Amino acid sequence: MESTMILDEPKAAVLALLEHSEWPEAGQALARANELPIPGRRTEQWKYTPVAKLFNKSYGKPDGQVPVELPARLPFPATRVVFVNGHFRADLSDDLKTDKGVVIDSIRHHLSHGPLKANYGRIAGIGDRLFTAMNTAAPTDGLIILATKGAKTSQPVHVLRITTAAAGNSPMLIQPRDLFMLHEGASLEVIDEHVAIGAASASLVNSVRESVVGHGAELTLHLLQNEPDGPADIGLDAVQVAENGHFSVDTSTLHGSLVRNDITVALEGSGAHAELNGVYLLNGNAHCDNHSYIGHNVPDCTSDELYKGVVGGKATGVFNGKVYVKQDAQRTRAYQRNANVLQGDLARVYSKPELEIYADDVKCSHGCTIGRMDEQAIFYLRSRGVSEAEAWRMMSHAFVAEVLERIENTQWKEHLGRMMDRKLEDL
Amino acid sequence: MKITGLHARIEDKDILKGVDLQVNAGEVHAIMGPNGSGKSTLANVLAGRAEYEVTAGSVSYLGEDLLKLAPEERAWKGVFLAFQYPVEIPGVSNMNFLRTAINEARIARGEKEMGGKDFLALVRERAKLVEMDPALMNRNLNVGFSGGEKKRNEIFQMAMLEPKLGILDETDSGLDIDALRIVAGGVNKLRSKDNAFIVVTHYQRLLDYIVPDVVHVMAEGRIIKSGPKELALELEEKGYDWVKEHA
């Protein structure tokens, strides 16, 4: 009987896992998940990122209590928060009550609190995104950060999300759900690192994070996907920025079997600014899809996007950047660029800028390039005695350095630079 | 180094049509000739540029088949090409790149890598040779350099790498007289009985400063005349057509 069911409704087995959840709005979300089709080749937003195969597996519930050996700490001070298979691990995390006016905790402890209720599910509306419906129907756990008026963290928060399984374990469906709220003038910097240990490659991590950046507040996110043989990693960052608020994110993908990063930013108050940066270094069969949407909904907002990738092997890079400028969003400034270097004959890149502008007094630009490494430059370096492989690495590093240069936190920038150099050794 | 019957082409165009040339240690050879005669092609073929296909002939360098070596291997064995158009490489710092180049060569020769301190001392010393502004050292490779600064940087790199065979491909083009004097002065200070230089140039002017032992005239992919340094003056006076007629 069950196999017939799967044929009739390929999502059924997966959605069955999401029943009886007590999270806010879970029932409606599950109903919506049942209605929404699995995005396929004909769904514009998912055209180059095939996800149907993710629904052909029988997932189990993730176990958060498995023993795990933590990776080395970052080479600079940070407050570490550890999630194992989506579950918060207080025993592995640092003391989180360090800064006045800042709450950092498992979101589970706050489901009935007023601040959560005011924002939860409001920034990342389900719309027709199946993965958001699934996440909302039954989150595993997640991180809540609440920064009150003028509050600042003394050091970055390092969220370490480990997906781990022993060989022979069934794949897991892990659904992290975060909520960051920054009140007026607050400032928060978060490093969100995804790592995989052991046999995690068949699992699916489906994350949703909502962030509210208040008046004059500043949120900086550093996302790092460093998951060799890792799970499919599908995530949505939905961000709302108020007047003079500042949101910046850098997304670095060094490994990933199937990575999809959705970032949706709504600029809702004049003077709001969004900066989106990304680097992807892909080889083997890696697949990375960066999808962004920036809504300029009011006048006098600015946004700037720069994504760069080096794609080799049989890997695929996808970029889709939409900038939407509402009719009365005058004096909008929006810049976007995506540049790619292909290595070898089997690597693929799909790049699509989308500008939709209804205001008349705007400055917007976009550009995308897909090319090969500059042969003249490589020859120049080699003629001085730099080996071909090293010349290629130097050029690759130089190519993505432009993105790194935009990162203000120099410690993170240097750490990332070193990790990228190591990755380039394999490319 | 001995070049024998060298033929080379780019895409389907034959450019070198049988070049013969022997350069011994301690010598400076000038190669002159009109545009399109194959001077720059010869320089680039010797450095190992892949766009040029060698169709016949041989180049023996210190007893080895030079044409079989990758560009970096040639560099490790002491071949250096100063580019006519030095490439700008954003994101690669002048210093980092040079240190990598020097140390890769040292590793290839089985020598110890040069430490940071020694490297910096050498940089300071050699930068003086070409009166190079130290501020340029930490900049990205040739990015935002003026034409003269780029050429000085080429000679500076040559001074750092201490080649056995330095090939200067129209290093004088685009230089004013002061820059020309500085660049030539740098080369002269590097001259020794153990190394050799090939100076490719369109004009006699450079040879007032870098005095060659032999002058060769190239035309239509061949060396058509060789002679002492006075040949350059004669060329300047009478033009290339005169040589072609009397070759």
Give the Cα-Cα-Cα angle A177, A178, A184 (nearest 5 degrees): 155
Domain boundaries, chain B: 2-246
pLDDT at A365: 95
Spatial distance between the Cα atoms of A255 and A245, rounded to a whole number of angstroms: 32
Spatial distance between the Cα atoms of B53 and B8, rounded to a whole number of angstroms: 5
Spatial distance between the Cα atoms of B122 and A184, rounded to a whole number of angstroms: 55
Counting every residue written for chain B, the total comes to 247
Distance, CA of B115 to chain centre: 27
Residues of A in contact with B140 (CB under 8 A): 398
pLDDT at B32: 95
N- to C-terminal Cα separation, chain B: 24
pLDDT at B39: 96
pLDDT at A88: 98
Helix H or strand E segment including A348: strand A348-357
Q: Which residues pair with B110 in a beta bridge?
A: none
Spatial distance between the Cα atoms of B157 and B152, rounded to a whole number of angstroms: 9
Q: Which residues pair with B218 in a beta bridge?
A: B223
Domain boundaries, chain A: 2-269
Nearest to B87 among A376, A385, A390 (CB): A376
Per-residue pLDDT tens digits for A295-313 = 999 999 999 999 999 999 9
Spatial distance between the Cα atoms of A400 and A403, rounded to a whole number of angstroms: 6
Residue A1, pLDDT > 50, answer no
pLDDT at A294: 98
Main-chain dihedrals φ then ψ at residue A397, nearest 5 degrees: -60, -45
Q: Which two tokens stand for residue A43?
A: 């769904």
Question: Which residues have C-beta within 8 Å of that of residue A119, sequence separation ≥ 6?
Answer: A179, A181, A210, A212
Residue A178, pLDDT > 70, answer yes
Q: Which two tokens stand for residue A10?
A: 């390929």
Residues of A in contact with B157 (CB under 8 A): 384
Spatial distance between the Cα atoms of B25 and B163, rounded to a whole number of angstroms: 12
**CB pair distance less than 8 Å for B91 and A402:** yes
Residues of B in contact with A341 (CB under 8 A): none
* CATH class assigned to B2-246: alpha beta
Helix H or strand E segment including A181: strand A177-182
Per-residue pLDDT tens digits for A251-294 = 999 999 999 999 999 999 999 999 999 999 999 999 999 999 99
Residue A3, pLDDT > 80, answer no
pLDDT at B245: 80
Residue of B nearest to A400 (CA): B91
Min CA distance, A316 vs chain B (Å)?
A: 25
Q: Where are the alpha helices (DSSP H) in B34-137?
A: 39-47, 71-76, 94-108, 116-129, 134-137
Spatial distance between the Cα atoms of A370 and A341, rounded to a whole number of angstroms: 6
* DSSP-assigned letter for residue A409: -
Is A326 part of the contact surface with chain B (CB cutoff 8 Å)?
A: no
Per-residue pLDDT tens digits for B147-157 = 999 999 999 99
Mutation choice for A interface testing from B83, B97, B164 by most A CBs within 10 A: B97
* DSSP-assigned letter for residue A155: S
Q: Which two tokens stand for residue A272?
A: 């709001």
Spatial distance between the Cα atoms of A416 and A76, rounded to a whole number of angstroms: 12
Q: Which two tokens stand for residue B70?
A: 């990758």
Residues of B in contact with A402 (CB under 8 A): 90-91
Main-chain dihedrals φ then ψ at residue A325, nearest 5 degrees: -115, 115
What band does A5 get if pLDDT is binned at 50, 70 and 90? very low
N- to C-terminal Cα separation, chain A: 47
**CB pair distance less than 8 Å for A384 and B161:** yes
Sign of the CA dihedral with A397 first, then A292, A247, and A158 last: negative
Min CA distance, B78 vs chain A (Å)?
A: 9
Residues of B in contact with A386 (CB under 8 A): 72, 97, 100-101, 104
Taking alpha carbons only, the member of B62, B64, B49 closest to residue B15 is: B49
pLDDT at B138: 86
Query: Whose structure tokens read 């201490």?
Result: B162
Residues of A in contact with B105 (CB under 8 A): 385
Mutation choice for B interface testing from A386, A392, A399 by most B CBs within 10 A: A386
Is A198 strand, coil or helix? strand
Counting every residue written for chain A, the total comes to 427
**Residue A358 vs residues A240, A269, A295, A333: alpha-carbon distances, Å:** 20, 18, 12, 13
Mutation choice for B interface testing from A380, A388, A403 by most B CBs within 10 A: A380
pLDDT at A8: 54
DSSP string, A244-309: T-EEEEEEEEEE-SEEEEEEEEEE-STT-EEEEEEEEEE-TT-EEEEEEEEEE-SSS-EEEEEEEE
Min CA distance, A237 vs chain B (Å)?
A: 30
Give the Cα-Cα-Cα angle B99, B101, B104 (nearest 5 degrees): 105
Per-residue pLDDT tens digits for B90-105 = 989 999 999 999 999 9
Q: Which residues of chain B have pLDDT under 50?
A: none
Number of H helices, E strands in chain A: 8, 20
What band does A168 get if pLDDT is binned at 50, 70 and 90? confident
* Helix A26-35 and helix A130-137, axial crossing angle in degrees, nearest 10: 150
pTM of full prediction above 0.80: yes
Query: Whose structure tokens read 């997906």?
Result: A163
Compute the CA torsion angle B85, B89, B90, B95 (nearest 10 deg): -110
Q: Which two tokens stand for residue A90?
A: 């207080």
Q: Which two tokens stand for residue A99?
A: 């800064």
Answer for the pair A272, A243: CB distance below 8 angstroms, yes or no: yes
Spatial distance between the Cα atoms of A355 and A128, rounded to a whole number of angstroms: 21
CB contact residues (below 8 A), chain A span 386-405, against chain B: 386-388, 390-391, 394-395, 397-399, 401-402
Q: Report which residue type is found at A403.
A: V
Helix H or strand E segment including A204: strand A204-213
